[in-house]
Structure 1
Amino acid sequence: MPRPSELLDAAECRFLARALGEWGGPARSGDAMAYALGFADAADLLAGCGRLAAELRGDLPLSAADWARVLLAAEVVFASDLVGSGTEWSTTTGWDDAESLRRLRSVQRKLGPVLRGQYGGRPGG
């Protein structure tokens, strides 16, 4: 599977890694949300986001299922004020909302081809 640097620029990788880190900080997930994001439960979400952030920073290849987990976890943590960082995003990350949205949209466009088989279902292992 592709390495992060083969799909995204460095700023996009930093954005995603930072977004994943929010799950261990201000963002909180119950088991149901974690499951919807492609993880077994809330504990798996925390561990998985830590692993995935490290793999992004290390430019290690991610499976299509892991790319789907990364993208969905970043989308939810950025936008949701109920379970994610939401309105506190810029305070907790230092990333401006407008710039974050531009990066997120760019990532969504670039990951489309990698995620084609993942749409509408739960990511597999």
Structure 2
Amino acid sequence: MIFSEIFHPECDPIGSDDAPYHVVFSCLQWKNASLEVMPRAAKQTFAVIYSDTVNYHVTATLERAYVIGAMSAVRLIAVHQDTLHLFLDSGISSTTLQEIEALWTHSHIHEFYSSSSKFRVC
């Protein structure tokens, strides 16, 4: 299964029926965790935890976030029903945190997932 043209799985999904699944993805990233443009692209990795399958809406949401630069600080995404929980790099500043929240909120990225979806930045 191809998840995305942007995000590439680093391993097969791991999990079982009585525990959440998870998979690690990688992509090229032009911004660091503080949203500053880097002189050279680097490999970013992040994990996605989910209970059933990662559906098209999750993929579309993450791709949209990537395109507008809202993924560079993301290290873990937990998908639960209509909510995406974003866990960010521990080294980001409070200003960067506000910028990331604004990107996700004002660009309506989460609406790609579901019209009633929410996101939480942790």
TM-score normalized by structure 1? 0.32
Larger Rg: 2
TM-score normalized by structure 2? 0.33
Structure with more helix by fraction: 1
Structure with more strand by fraction: 2
Structure with the bigger RCO (C-alpha within 8 Å, sep 6+) is 1
